Chains A and B, each alone.
Chain A
């Protein structure tokens, strides 16, 4: 198994038994095209696995209860709340987080549109908004401007950047349908 980075539990010195009541489970996560082997508590959420064990802190925690959408990532192309699911359930399933949305230094069109439309202020909900919007566009259900508002409603933005987020998404959707608009 090459190309697999083995991640040690933070806080545990090498060679020491992992501190746990129960047994740590090996989990292989495929994130942004890379494989990671972790040993986790069975109840570690996918969100905590990303943020605390893989240092992929681009995915945000805004509630830990499936109420805000800040933790949205793409699992097999579908948007999910990573706080509402356990890491062990995603063994081997391709995951995309905000860190994997751009192609190298070239931003994803949505990322660029977010910047151009100033679709954020504090930026904390932004990774979730972008992943959610990518997932929504793939679902193909949004037919109108109103649909975008409706189908993005799981992603809260306390800064109130909704108008600009909407406009950024709408622009990219229009460009996808009609590439000349670019």
Chain B
């Protein structure tokens, strides 16, 4: 561990760039992920997926596969019986309206790459080989997967999944747009994207007698997986323990239990043996994706550049069996001051698997279109794009007509522009050059929710002065382990090394899945509260011990720091925290936090709670070849208190890479003649590599928020990506003079 973590005795850790507490495990290969728990007698499962998008399985022949010595069983819809048929049994915390997909439920095929069989054998090689011997015949039915061809078939969802907010129009947008001095109108389109975390989905089910299961699962929420397994297979919670101490990235893909969990549990219960099922990279394209979306923006302004009217329509795909919703258009009613806003969000059901939340779902899409349109408006008005944003800045949330708990987007614009050197930009497109490269500078705003979810934590302090805090939350690379350790250590005034934070275990106290940038705020607050409770208990004990200096002191008059309780008035009056427990003769102090305090919730309801950002991007475009590279990015973020500037910066760096990827690289091609994603591997599905990495500067502007939670923390997982793709697209326009409205912007579209 870094020297600064071990030798510094100053226990105020919040705001310090301490190294990740799980760093050593990760750099030595000792961090174990879901598919890495080996046990003797472990069986391996290989999944077979459907090549057709819609129709029926007409026959299954497993006899050749079963002849292979070492093959245990082939599971298909033909031999899997007795599972519940209620939709409710298969619902997860995402709560999509509709009927969740149930593996092996019938011979019906609902989407291409639908899992249709599981081959279980004594070794991975045997299972893989035997899977090639299973013969399945299909009858294809008519199908439709094209959103573009069916834009007219959209419906307005009445209900949505967890977190869906029905967009609300206001004022008279059509009239305002007609009367506006300057108007722009443009349609934007982006294809499907797949999360593709580096770790493939895997579940290892360790089987014990009487159907007791210990499951290592790749998930963003162990309790979500546990509740799914107990409901689908009719097991008691006490017999199903789900663990997920390390997750090799997820980006939303772990918000719903994936089918390898179902399959490994099914096989383990049937064969009464431990089983692992790991998906292949190709199969990582078989579950949810960021939905293909078509959007239309109309913006109208007066001559001064004040927005008069906004109209935003988005049409997205969903599956035929579930209604997947996102908050796509809502942002257009919240980012700028404007009285007349028309919002319209529609879905087209197609023969695809249900889409799935992917980093900044809805906002990554909606803000992309809005902020490209704002750039178009700036050029129609002949004013600087940043100036246009400043002219329409709003201090209150115009959709809810209420104040923000805090909003410092202004400093994001100012500091971002200054660090980037925006004032040196020449306004005209194609006016900046570097040799044979056209240079383009573009910018964008970003906005996301600052969510608080109910969460709990448990803590135990022992007489050796060590504190262990736990909660059933997750660390998908976000830094949860580290920041929770920091919060706990600072609250109790203990050195970081004396504090251990544990997560990813369904036997711990409740936490929601790690999603929507809510973990730092929600679990962080629970950790703070539980440590405050411990602190009070320690102090009570300290007052009771013989010769205590604190007999007549109140807890407000002492400081917990550096492992000691010290009187504020007289620093000589001090006692080590460990000594308090030792001298009191207690074995430990244990506390659980209750749910968030209600008082806070009512107060919070009066405010809009959001994070904001301003992104500035430089691109260079090869004039002859059309090759685009992003060379420089400044991302300025307002997200309340930053608990750890080091891990926080990493999150935003990652978000910036994701935004560049959305703008220039990522696209899962859907062949509508086959109803199938074609480029389902990492060679054909492009994401940025080292050589695509620009110089990135991350700025966290000061933002004090006393309403959101006692820590003032807002969360950072999503805000880093939002606005990046639009800033890139606007920079490409500035470089080339060409508006590309279809994403990703590949070289063939530029000239």
- A→B interface (CB under 8 Å): 9-12, 19-21, 41, 43-44, 48, 51-52, 55-65, 67-68, 70, 97-99, 101-102, 107, 111-112, 114-116, 118, 120-127, 130, 148-150, 152-166
Contacts and interface: CB of A to CB of B under 8 A. Distances in A.
A51 B34 CA distance: 13
Nearest to A126: B26
Contacts of B42: 10-11
B38 A10 contact: yes
A154 B518 CA distance: 33
Contact of A158 (B30, B69, B196, B479): B196
Contact of B682 (A68, A97, A98, A163): A68
Given A51-B36, A162-B692, 20 more contacts: A9-B122, A11-B43, A56-B29, A58-B29, A61-B35, A65-B681, A68-B682, A102-B28, A115-B2, A118-B23, A118-B646, A118-B647, A122-B249, A123-B26, A124-B248, A130-B27, A150-B690, A155-B690, A158-B196, A158-B251
B691 A150 contact: yes
Contacts of A56: 29
**6 closest cross-chain pairs (CB), A and B:** A58-B29, A19-B70, A160-B657, A124-B248, A122-B477, A123-B26
28 contacts: A9-B123, A10-B41, A11-B41, A19-B121, A56-B29, A58-B29, A62-B198, A68-B281, A99-B30, A114-B27, A115-B23, A115-B27, A116-B2, A118-B646, A118-B647, A122-B476, A123-B26, A123-B27, A124-B248, A125-B198, A126-B27, A152-B690, A155-B690, A158-B251, A160-B655, A160-B688, A162-B688, A164-B650
Contacts of A155: 689-690
Given A122-B477, A125-B198, A160-B653, A60 B126 contact: no
A160 B654 CA distance: 4
B29 A10 contact: no
B658 interface: yes
Interface centre among A65, A125, A163 (most CB of B within 10 A): A163
B477 A159 contact: yes
Nearest to B126: A19
Contact of B249 (A99, A111, A159): A159
A156 B38 contact: no
Interface in B626-684: 646-647, 649-651, 653-658, 681-683
Nearest to A102: B28
Contacts of A130: 27
A121 B651 contact: yes
B280 interface: yes
Contacts of B543: none
Nearest to A97: B29
A163 B26 contact: no
Contacts of A125: 198
B345 to A, nearest CB: 29
B40 interface: yes
Contacts of B690: 148-150, 152-153, 155, 162, 165-166
A115 B248 contact: no
A60 B647 contact: no
Contacts of B2: 115-116
Nearest to B202: A61
Interface in B113-136: 121-126, 129
Interface of B: 1-2, 19-20, 22-33, 35-36, 38, 40-43, 68-70, 121-126, 129, 196-200, 246-251, 278, 280-281, 476-479, 646-647, 649-651, 653-658, 681-683, 687-693, 695-696
A58 B43 CA distance: 21
Nearest to B19: A115
B243 to A, nearest CB: 15
B699 to A, nearest CB: 15
B458 to A, nearest CB: 25
B435 to A, nearest CB: 16
A11 B122 contact: yes
B33 to A, nearest CB: 7
Contact of A70 (B26, B27, B198, B695): B198
A60 B41 contact: no
A57 B682 contact: no
B245 to A, nearest CB: 11
A111 B23 CA distance: 9
A153 B197 contact: no
B654 A121 contact: yes
A121 B693 contact: no
A107 to B, nearest CB: 7
A120 B196 CA distance: 16
B53 to A, nearest CB: 24
A98 B653 CA distance: 25
Given A52-B124, A62-B281, A160-B656, A124 B197 contact: yes
Contacts of A11: 40-43, 70, 122-123
A162 B129 contact: no
A114 B200 CA distance: 23
B200 to A, nearest CB: 7
A121 to B, nearest CB: 3
Nearest to A150: B691
Nearest to A54: B38
Given A11-B43, A62-B682, A158-B198, A121 B479 contact: yes
Contacts of A126: 26-27
Contact of B122 (A12, A111, A163): A12
Interface centre among A11, A51, A70 (most CB of B within 10 A): A11
A160 B46 CA distance: 30
Contacts of A158: 196-198, 249, 251, 687
Nearest to B67: A21
Nearest to B276: A52
A130 B658 CA distance: 22
B22 A123 contact: yes
Contacts of B647: 118, 121
Given A11-B122, A123-B246, A156 B27 contact: no
Contacts of A65: 281, 681-683
Given A19-B122, A121-B479, A160 B248 contact: no
B513 to A, nearest CB: 16
Contacts of B649: 118
B497 to A, nearest CB: 15
Contacts of A127: 27, 29
Contact of B683 (A12, A67, A120, A122): A67
Given A153-B689, A160-B656, A63 B281 contact: yes
B198 A166 contact: no
Contacts of B122: 9-12, 19
B358 to A, nearest CB: 12
Contact of A57 (B38, B200, B646): B38
Interface centre among B43, B197, B248 (most CB of A within 10 A): B248
A21 B68 contact: yes
Contacts of A52: 38, 123-124
Nearest to A155: B690
A154 B129 CA distance: 29
A124 to B, nearest CB: 3
Contacts of B200: 61-62
Interface centre among A97, A116, A130 (most CB of B within 10 A): A116
A160 B681 CA distance: 18
A30 B97 CA distance: 55
Contacts of A44: 125
A57 B27 contact: no
A149 B68 CA distance: 47
B124 to A, nearest CB: 6
A101 B26 CA distance: 13
Contacts of B278: 61
Given A148-B690, A159-B249, A107 B198 contact: no
A125 B196 CA distance: 13
Nearest to B273: A11
Contacts of A115: 1-2, 19-20, 23-24, 27
B723 to A, nearest CB: 16
Contacts of B657: 160, 162
